[in-house]
Amino acid sequence: MIARLFNFHGGIKPDSHKNASAAPPIAAAPLPPRLTIPLRQSVRSVARCLVAPGQRVLKGERIGAGEGPLGTDVHASTSGTVVGLAPCAMAHASSLDTLAVVIEPDGKDEWIERRAFDHRAVPREAALRYLSACGIVGMGGAGFPTHIKLGNGRGIETLIINGAECEPWITCDDRLMRERAAEILSGAAILHELIGARRTLVGIEDNKPEAIRAMREAAAGFPGLVDIVAIPTRYPAGGEKQLIRVLTGIEIAHGKLGTEFGVQCFNVGTAQAVHRAIHHGEPLVSRVVTLTGNVRRPGNYEVLVGTPVETLLALAAPKPDTDRYLMGGPMMGITISDLSVPIGKTSNCIIAASAALFPPPPPELPCIRCGACARACPADLQPFELYWFSRAKNVGKAQEYHLFDCIECGSCAFVCPSHIPLVDYFRFSKSEIWARERELKASDQARERFEFRNYRQEREKEEKAAKLAAKAAETRAKLSGSATPTDAATGDDPKKALIAAALARARQQVAVEPRNTDTPHAGVPGASPGIASRREQPDLHDSDATS
Amino acid sequence: MSSYIFIVIGAVLVNNVVFVRILGLCPFMGVSKKLETAIGMGAATTFVLTLGSGTSYLIDHYLLQPYDLAYLRTLSFIVVIAAIVQLTELVIQKTSPLLHQVLGIYLPLITTNCAVLGIPLLSVALDYTLLESLLFGFGSSIGFTLALILFAGLRERLDGADIPAPFKGTAIAMITAGFMSLAFMGFAGLDRFQ
Amino acid sequence: MLTALLVMTGIAIVLGAALGYASIRFKVEGNPLVEKIDAILPQTQCGQCGYPGCKPYAEAISNGEADINQCPPGGEEGIRKLADLLGREFKSLSEEHGAEKPKSVARIDEQLCIGCTLCIQACPVDAIVGTAKHMHTVVPALCTGCELCVAPCPVDCIAMTPVKETLETWKWKYPVFELRSAA
Amino acid sequence: MSNRYTATHTSLRTAGIMVVFTLAFTAMMSQTYRVTRPAIDASEQEQKMRLINDVLPPGSYDNALLDDFVAAGPTPELGLDRGGRIYRARRAGVPAALVFEAVAPDGYGGKIQLVVAVGADGRLGGVRVTAHKETPGLGDYIDPRKDRNKTRPWIGQFAGMSLVEVAPAQWKVKRDGGVFAYRIGATISARAVTNATGRVLEYAAEHRDALFAASTGSAI
Amino acid sequence: MNLQTFRENAWNGLWKQNTGLVQLLGLCPILAVSTSIVNAVSLGLATVLVMAVSNFAVASLRNFIPYEIRIPVFILIIAALTTVVDLAFNAYLHDLYLVLGIFIPLIVTNCIVLARVEAYAAKNDPVSSTVDGIMMGLGLVWLLGVLGGIRELVGSGTLFSGIEMLIPGLSPLSVFGDDYPGFLIGVLPPGAFFTLGCLIALSNRVRTRAAAGKPARAASDGEEAAPASAAP
Amino acid sequence: MIHSPYIRKPASVQSVMLAVLLALLPGVTAYVMQVAAVVVVNLLIATVTALVAEALILTLRKRPIAPALSDLSAVVTAWLVVLCFPPILPWWVTVLGVLIAIVAVKHLYGGLGQNPFNPAMVAYCAMIVAFPSLMSQWPPAGQIDFQTQLDLVLGGARQLDAITGATALDAMRTGLRTSGASVDSVLQQSGTFGAVGGRGWEWLALGYLAGGLFMLARRIITWHMPVAFIATLAVVSGIFWLAEPARFAPPLFHLASGGAMLAAFFIVTDPVSGATTPRGKLIFAAGVAVIAYLIRVFGAFPEGIAFAVLLMNLCVPLIDMKTQPAVFGHRGSRP
Ligand SMILES: Cc1cc2nc3c(=O)[nH]c(=O)nc-3n(C[C@H](O)[C@H](O)[C@H](O)COP(=O)(O)O)c2cc1C
Ligand SMILES: Cc1cc2nc3c(=O)[nH]c(=O)nc-3n(C[C@H](O)[C@H](O)[C@H](O)COP(=O)(O)O)c2cc1C
Ligand SMILES: Cc1cc2nc3c(=O)[nH]c(=O)nc-3n(C[C@H](O)[C@H](O)[C@H](O)COP(=O)(O)O)c2cc1C
Ligand SMILES: Cc1cc2nc3c(=O)[nH]c(=O)nc-3n(C[C@H](O)[C@H](O)[C@H](O)CO)c2cc1C
Ligand code: SF4
Ligand code: SF4
Ligand code: SF4
Ligand code: SF4
Ligand code: FES
């Protein structure tokens, strides 16, 4: 037993609303008529498609190969036929499209050949590769590939299994711990070995006594492996840095990773998925999802990755006054604008929202600098300062005040008496800063290329001049006075003149009229309206331009 | 000793150059948009004003008064100070070109920062000794710097405020200066404890 | 009268000499400010500011010849940064130099391109590849959207296409709520 | 080395030009000063007379008042910490009145400079403020030109008073238990002037004879 | 010097580049001396004189002044001319001097004088420089007049107090009657800042209106300014 | 679109301000019972003025009126203006003061939350500078009847000397300064003083203290400001008092007199214009206490708190900047 728990600053205690959905056991969701499995499981990880329309796939068959350092493989969640590759909306605040493999299930749910993997028999790297090939990513939220988080197997003192589940309404981890404690701990044991930890702690908020009891009972089966620690219920105790702080007292420094402090943190779902992959040879193709909120039958379901949200919702029977659906918890989740969004590996909860349960925010008032947000902020930020600068679009200043230490937990917005959507301002500022960094990179590149070009032209001019001089000398030596060297130079003059004229025109247009009006200006050759009209044409090939 | 302290307190707070004596307002309004430049300007002014007060005292005491040339006071003071400023400008230009660019038009204007002439003239009028003149010049410029820094801090904060359109910019800055001057009236009397 | 002249002359000689000496001794060369300004400019190199590229415009600003609001690609944000750097008041983009536009890149209609290389020579950042008499292509990642290549093309095959949003470039919008009408 | 040479050269040149300008403009100033000086001196005398005339009727004496003075050193009784002048008015050689330069050190805004005329009989001719820093609109009623009550300015109440009518202990504003009026909200200014005037009267009573006897221009 | 430059100079000085409203130069005398109309306008006129003379002098001598000592020389010229003006007033216009006297030496330190010398007279011919000086000065005069008027009115309820010293026979106006308690802030330093701030805001508003092409509607301007003038 | 979080605590600016008004009630009750019942009339006048002024400005600026009026912040400001002003002021002084606070201080800077200065304190400073005599006329506690008070407020003839008295602070100052008396002799000679502070006014201090504790319990304010203010005032006055008990009044006198308690809980705690970081709050409140003491004892104004608050308001941006708490993962570093 751990003698001492530590504290983190701030935090909030919203009503938990967990009882309703935590009561019934996890049920398997029925096979949907169609599965849409995005090749991109998170913003960072992309995969290359391995199947073609018409192809039959088995459950667990690889359909996408991870690309790049953060890629992990993607698998078919059930057996059936690939009917197409189509863009589908991502479960992301932007609702932008991403490419997905559409599978029509054949109803047999036929697995590929599953074989337990003896991770002790192979080198560590091979085990990590295996996990990657099983598509194991973090199921606690960020979807970060687990094999990368397992690192090089050295320097980790403490492995933490995150069973906090601090957001209200969500109960998938709770149910998972109650029902599959042994699997979780088995997964934890594997992670423990792979990462080379000295000890393993499981942190569970003390509002889940059953889960704690179940985990403790299961822990008896793994003597000496884990400590199950009940931590005080306070949002966001499940945040990685907060949990590490509570359990170990370590404060992960800004810009550093837990590993550099000898701690690594995995979600309980991740641990269970690792267990399934190693001991049962099953890639990650399903997860537990909480359906709750304004529904008649709240509960948890084992759902295949790729199941569209709309088909899932029928299970919970949303009440008629439901006006929108949230994916994730009410603190950090997103509103789903398109119900065809598929369940992904990190989709832990769907909440049916009604005006009564989730009233629209009252009008935003000015900040009165009351400091409530600062008291609630688990990152010890001064959210109102960040807000003040973000609102004025003074994002540089916001960054100076440590904008990037904000974990977007929403505690500040939760307590703000002025109902300011603080997190939205922070997200705005963050993406503004990223955009500026991209622009800066682009402009540095442009400057370099421009300067290089000038240098090159200069050099070419010099070379040409030298050549001409040599030629002239030669000519002069041959005959006397008939051909002048300038004649030779005129060869490329027309082009230069054209460019100069174009530059002049460009400048003139600017001086005379705004560029995209379409009245041709007297004296300016028809170029200007031409450009303008062409710019306005919708373009068929812009994917080339942007990829 | 305590009279020296009162000279400094008086110059910094009670009779603050900017808010009570109403001197040096152009740089006060012009160079207070950012804290860094405010500090730079404050430092430059402190240097010039302290040096100027001392030099002015010497000129007045050893050249003008003995030869009964009081009418040359303004002229000689301002010329000497202008030269000091120009020297400072040349030196800053070399040693800290960026500070120079930022202070741009204000460095030459230090000369006509009326405080720079006003304070030496005042210390002659107050019949201060050399040490007192130096303290008075130094205290006044510290008062100026203090005003400038506080003002810059406030203006940086005002950047984000939803100020009515016509008041944006210099108007609200002027009004803020008014409130500051009101606040500084609170120091009244603190330089003459009985 | 004589004493007055003597006193003032003495002062003048001392000061004049000191200043003259200092002006030589502390002479400065080069101007680090230009680099700072240039770093803020977007490097589109489009010439809309009225100078042949960003660097010359930066030099012009530093010499006090040009105002800070002449670069449309830099937009309000750029002007704001320049104002900050130079301790000047912010002003909105000068109308005669154009308006801020969504970022675009050039695209060559490969069917029409005759391979004349005129666009290559116009492009300030060498973002167009191709050889004489062969089809040319714009490398979108390098194109700054300056439009300089558009006019020289004799067959009008270059068009500017706005850059589309991707997951990488998607931005959170500035929060706006009905009750807070903009200032 | 050549650099050094240039520096010297430039220094000399600029110094030369500077000297020329200085000479020219100083000469211009000196000339103006010389030309205007008599006129200015005359005007200053005239102004001083005007003030004195306010407190002492011009007909009440016949000597050249401004030339007949005693230079007082630092005199705390008169509030003079740097000295000042005391003019003597005589009528047909007989002492008529003394005109004191005095200072009330404890005004709201600092020193208040006064001229006070005291008749040979110890009666106040009048009091005038020559310079003060009292708050405009509040404490500046001590200057009759700024006093809103033009018909009976506040400072007029002193004319004709003497230590006989008002005992020294009563020579205070009413609020302090004395006899003189003050304006509510600006007692400090009134108190300062009243007390200073009282002190002048006492000083005058004490030193009257010595003052009239002293030789012109002498210091006491 | 033609009519065009004259117009430009006048427009710049009186409105477009007004020293107090736009350039924010020469603020100290503006704020310090505007406790009453008479003081304010008197100083303004004295400044006009000095600016005109020094602009003329510098413009005439500009070709003889080396760059590196220009500032000391300019200041020398300004200071000398100011002293000369001061002495001349004292000697020959003594009554006026009694009113203006203390303000005249202050002109030396008014940075607008140096600023105009440096920015205009050092680069232009003597005639237009003189006009520039006069116009800039007049821009100052009207602003000082308005500022002095408002402050005097708010602070003590009178107008033109002190006029009797300038023009004997005239007497000040007591606008609000003798019972007006006097809103002292008006004449104290904070009042100076507030009033100038409000005037700048008003001028901003007029300017944006004019820029927007709409005729500045006097009535609604008045309304908009109401909160401003309610502020002391 | 609405983004997360989708749930919020049922807190609002209105509820915060309402709590402040409630917390003021014990003090106001003591005021009515012990000093001058007419303060109720003043509160009414001030409230109406504040609301009307706010509505007018918002109309001019074409902003929605309802949310701004219902947030009650203007009422808090108006009440604090009244509680700092002498109760027998003519009504127009109160109106002018509230107008300055609401129009010139709050709305010129953009309204709620944006003013760098404490509106009520600016109003006090502006009025004491503009009308020093009116603003120093305090009625002796409980000695004039309501009708006379009402006449004074609504503009009857003012027989000032007869009615007004000095406040405890004023009496102490005048006693010590002009007549060279000792603290003890001043305390004994005059009917102005009660057990520890001004007679009757002590009860007000107690009322404000009670209200302040209520706000602390409701977490409207944090402990930093009141504790720092009271402790600093006690320590500074204690040092002077111990050094020269005859010339300097004891700490308890300073704490119970004037607006010390009102300031400790309601004025320095103004969230908008005060410092916001924990260390900043300590510095801010301590600074107010020191300056207020110096002005009270050595300065030109009888009560220095308003100027002290204003002066510290000037420093707030710098204080906040320099006292940013270390962010998670940055212990030991600041922006
Ligand atoms: C660019 C990047 C690189 C990362 N590299 C590592 C790594 O090398 N090792 C590791 O254990 N975690 C790594 N992480 C994972 C983070 O530390 C964190 O565990 C993950 O983002 C999940 O965080 P969350 O679910 O709390 O949001 C990386 C994250 C990012 C964004
Ligand atoms: C505010 C906040 C709250 C979080 N709450 C939880 C939680 O309750 N349970 C959880 O497993 N992960 C939670 N996370 C994610 C963790 O930070 C961390 O990413 C995760 O535990 C890493 O495990 P994984 O890589 O297995 O997903 C939260 C993250 C944030 C930012
Ligand atoms: C800004 C300000 C300026 C003041 N100026 C003067 C002044 O010039 N003369 C004066 O006697 N009192 C002045 N006072 C008033 C004093 O502080 C003090 O209140 C008053 O003189 C006492 O008068 P009373 O006893 O009649 O109330 C001023 C007060 C303030 C706040
Ligand atoms: C604890 C607390 C204290 C306050 N104190 C003041 C105050 O001293 N003066 C004031 O004008 N408003 C005060 N207010 C009200 C409000 O903050 C004030 O109107 C804003 O400054 C207006 O932007 C206070 C509000 C709270 C919650
Ligand atoms: S909680 Fe809201 S009102 Fe309070 S300081 Fe934070 S942002 Fe401002
Ligand atoms: S969202 Fe950011 S600022 Fe707000 S409480 Fe969470 S970490 Fe702090
Ligand atoms: S307008 Fe074009 S060339 Fe000029 S600075 Fe801006 S991007 Fe560069
Ligand atoms: S391709 Fe065209 S638009 Fe793009 S950078 Fe080159 S010239 Fe400019
Ligand atoms: S600094 Fe005083 S007038 Fe410009």
pLDDT of residue A534: 39
SS3 for A291? strand
One domain, residues F254 and F295: yes
Minimum-distance CB partner of E24 among B24, B30, B178? B30
Q: Is the pLDDT of residue D6 over 70?
A: no
D220 located within any domain: no
Residue ranges of the annotated binding site of A for [4Fe-4S] cluster are: 367, 370, 373, 377, 406, 409, 412, 416
Cis peptide before F5 (omega within 30 of 0): yes
One domain, residues D9 and D112: no
With 0-12 / 13-18 / 19 or more C-beta atoms within 10 angstroms meaning exposed / middle / buried, residue B192 is middle
One domain, residues F259 and F140: no
Residue C45 confidence class, pLDDT cut points 50, 70, 90:
confident
pLDDT of residue A491: 43
One domain, residues D94 and D173: yes
Q: What is the percentage of chain A residues whose pLDDT exceeds 70?
A: 87
- Among A169-173, B120-124, C179-183, F9-13, top mean pLDDT goes to A169-173
> How much is the mean pLDDT over chain D?
84
Q: Do chains A and D touch (3 or more CB pairs under 8 A)?
A: no
Q: What is the percentage of chain C residues whose pLDDT exceeds 90?
A: 1
Task: Indicate the domain borders of chain E.
Answer: 3-213
Residue ranges of the annotated binding site of A are: 367, 370, 373, 377, 406, 409, 412, 416
A486 CB-side CA count, 13 A: 1
pLDDT of residue D214: 86
The residue among E100 and C114 whose pLDDT is bigger is C114
* Section C149-174 average pLDDT: 86
Contact (CB<8Å) B69/C7: yes
F3 located within any domain: no
Closest residue of chain E to F105, computed from CA coordinates: E231
Q: Taking the model in full, what pTM does it have?
A: 0.86
Tell me how far apart the alpha carbons of residues A275 and A186 are, in angstroms, rounded to a whole number. 6
* Section A221-246 average pLDDT: 92
> How much is the mean pLDDT over chain A?
85
pLDDT of residue F287: 97
* Section C83-102 average pLDDT: 79
Interface TM-score (ipTM) > 0.95 = no
Tell me how far apart the alpha carbons of residues A238 and A162 are, in angstroms, rounded to a whole number. 7
One domain, residues F176 and F290: yes
Asked which of D20, D38, D55 is the last residue of a domain, the reply is: D55
DSSP B1-46: -HHHHHHHHIIIIIT-TTTTS--SHHHHHHS-SSHHHHHHHHHHHH
Minimum-distance CB partner of E90 among D21, D43, D145? D43
* Section C113-134 average pLDDT: 84
Backbone dihedral region for residue E39 (phi beyond 0: left; psi -120 to 50: alpha; all else: beta): alpha
Enumerate residue ranges in chain F where pLDDT < 50. 162, 332-335
F7 located within any domain: no
Q: Which chains touch E (3 or more CB pairs under 8 A)?
A: B, C, D, F
Q: List Cβ neighbours of E57 (8 Å cut-off, separation of 6 or more).
A: E77, E81
One domain, residues D118 and D68: yes
* DSSP secondary structure letter of residue D172: S
* Section B95-100 average pLDDT: 69
Tell me how far apart the alpha carbons of residues C79 and D150 are, in angstroms, rounded to a whole number. 60
Question: What is the extent of the structural domain holding F19?
Answer: 12-165
Dihedral sign for Cα atoms in the order C85, C90, C92, C97: negative
Q: pLDDT digits over A386-395, tens only?
A: 999 999 888 8
- Lowest pLDDT segment from A6-10, A84-88, B140-144, D71-75: D71-75
* Section A232-253 average pLDDT: 92
E194 CB-side CA count, 13 A: 30
Q: How far is CA B125 from CA A70, B65, B120, B129, in A?
A: 77, 13, 9, 11
Q: pLDDT digits over D154-165, tens only?
A: 998 998 889 888
Asked which of F129, F150, F165 is the last residue of a domain, the reply is: F165
Cis peptide before A236 (omega within 30 of 0): yes
One domain, residues D39 and D103: no
Q: Is the pLDDT of residue A247 over 60?
A: yes
Residue D59 confidence class, pLDDT cut points 50, 70, 90:
confident
How does strand C104-108 pair with strand E173-174? unpaired
Contact residues on chain F for A373, CB-CB shorter than 8 A: none
Count of residues for chain D?
A: 220
One domain, residues D183 and D116: yes
Residue C147 confidence class, pLDDT cut points 50, 70, 90:
confident
Residue with tokens 């940086």: B156
One domain, residues F113 and F192: no
Asked which of F150, F165, F180 is the last residue of a domain, the reply is: F165
Reference E121, options E161, E61, E178; nearest CA is E61
Split chain E (232 residues) into runs of 10 and give each run's mean pLDDT: 80 83 84 85 88 92 80 84 85 71 70 84 89 92 94 88 76 78 86 95 90 51 36 34
Q: How many domains does chain F have?
A: 2
pLDDT of residue E215: 46
Determine the atom of ligand 6 nearest the C-alpha atom of A405.
Answer: 7
SS3 for F119? helix
F300 located within any domain: yes
pLDDT of residue C181: 39
F267 located within any domain: yes
Q: pLDDT digits over A472-514, tens only?
A: 787 777 666 554 444 444 444 555 555 565 555 555 544 433 3
A330-359 burial code (b ≥16 CB/10 A, e <16): bbbbbbbeeeebbbbbbbbbbbbbbeebbe
pLDDT of residue A337: 84
Q: What is the percentage of chain D residues whose pLDDT exceeds 90?
A: 18
What are the residues of chain E with a beta carbon less than 8 Å away from any beta carbon of chain F?
Answer: 181-185, 188, 190, 194, 223-224, 226-228, 230-232
Whether A207 and A174 have beta carbons less than 8 Å apart is answered as no
With 0-12 / 13-18 / 19 or more C-beta atoms within 10 angstroms meaning exposed / middle / buried, residue A455 is exposed
Cβ of residue A476 closer than 8 Å to a chain C Cβ: no
Determine the atom of ligand 7 nearest the C-alpha atom of C45.
Answer: 3
Residue ranges of the annotated binding site of C for [4Fe-4S] cluster are: 46, 49, 54, 71, 113, 116, 119, 123, 143, 146, 149, 153
pLDDT of residue A547: 32
pLDDT of residue A313: 92
One domain, residues F154 and F191: no
* Section D6-32 average pLDDT: 81
- Tokens for F84, please give them: 């700092």
Q: pLDDT digits over B1-36, tens only?
A: 678 888 898 899 998 999 988 888 988 988 888 888
Strand segments, DSSP code E, in chain C are 104-108, 128-129, 137-138, 158-162
- Tokens for A161, please give them: 């299994």
Whether D166 and D179 have beta carbons less than 8 Å apart is answered as yes
- Tokens for C37, please give them: 């300004």
D158 located within any domain: yes
Q: How many domains does chain D have?
A: 2
Minimum-distance CB partner of F133 among D108, D176, D185? D185
Helices (H), chain D: 2-55, 187-213
pLDDT of residue D60: 86
One domain, residues F216 and F312: yes
Reference A135, options A47, A194, A32; nearest CA is A47
Q: Is the pLDDT of residue A537 over 90?
A: no
How does strand A199-205 pair with strand A226-231? parallel
F65 located within any domain: yes
Tell me how far apart the alpha carbons of residues F322 and A359 are, in angstroms, rounded to a whole number. 39
F332 located within any domain: no
pLDDT of residue C176: 74
Q: What is the percentage of chain B residues whose pLDDT exceeds 90?
A: 36
D218 located within any domain: no
Tell me how far apart the alpha carbons of residues F106 and F116 are, in angstroms, rounded to a whole number. 9
Question: What is the extent of the structural domain holding D72?
Answer: 57-213
Helices (H), chain F: 13-30, 39-60, 66-70, 73-84, 91-99, 119-130, 146-154, 160-163, 168-178, 183-189, 201-217, 224-243, 251-256, 260-262, 278-298, 305-322
Ligand 9: centre distance to CA B115 (Å): 8
Q: pLDDT digits over A95-142, tens only?
A: 788 889 999 999 888 999 999 999 999 999 999 999 999 999 999 888
pLDDT of residue E171: 80
D33 located within any domain: yes
Whether A488 and A476 have beta carbons less than 8 Å apart is answered as no
Asked which of F106, F138, F165 is the last residue of a domain, the reply is: F165
Contact (CB<8Å) E155/D33: no
Strands across the sheet with A46-49, in order? A46-49, A62-67, A74-75
Q: Does the A19-32+126-350 domain belong in CATH 3.30.420.40?
A: no
Cα R_g (chain A), whole angstroms: 30
Amino acid at B48: V
Tell me how far apart the alpha carbons of residues B193 and F319 are, in angstroms, rounded to a whole number. 29
* Section A289-309 average pLDDT: 94
One domain, residues F149 and F192: no
pLDDT of residue A480: 60
F6 located within any domain: no
- Lowest pLDDT segment from A32-36, B183-187, E224-228: E224-228
Strand partners, A286: A304
F2 located within any domain: no
